[in-house]
Amino acid sequence: MNNQRLVILLMLIAYIFSPTLFSWVIHPEGPWYRPYLVWVLVIVIAFIVQLRRNKRQDIS
């Protein structure tokens, strides 16, 4: 149940900030690597979540 609340909260935050984030990413005068920063952040968060999940399963 706790994970569902976290996912709903993250989706709400993403929905609220997506227009600002999208305009920041596609801004033509920004550096070329700006869109990749978002994907690196997504990958790092997924890695941390997966690492925590594996540690919990090892304990159980």
Per-residue pLDDT tens over the stretch 19-42: 888 888 788 888 888 888 888 988
Q: How many domains does the chain have?
A: 1
Token pair listed for 58: 């090892």
**Higher per-residue pLDDT: 24 or 16:** 16
Distance (Å, whole) CA 52 – CA 54 = 5
* Mean pLDDT over the full length of the chain: 83
**Side chain identity, residue 36:** Y
Give the pLDDT score at 11. Answer: 86
- Segments forming the whole domain that contains residue 25: 2-59
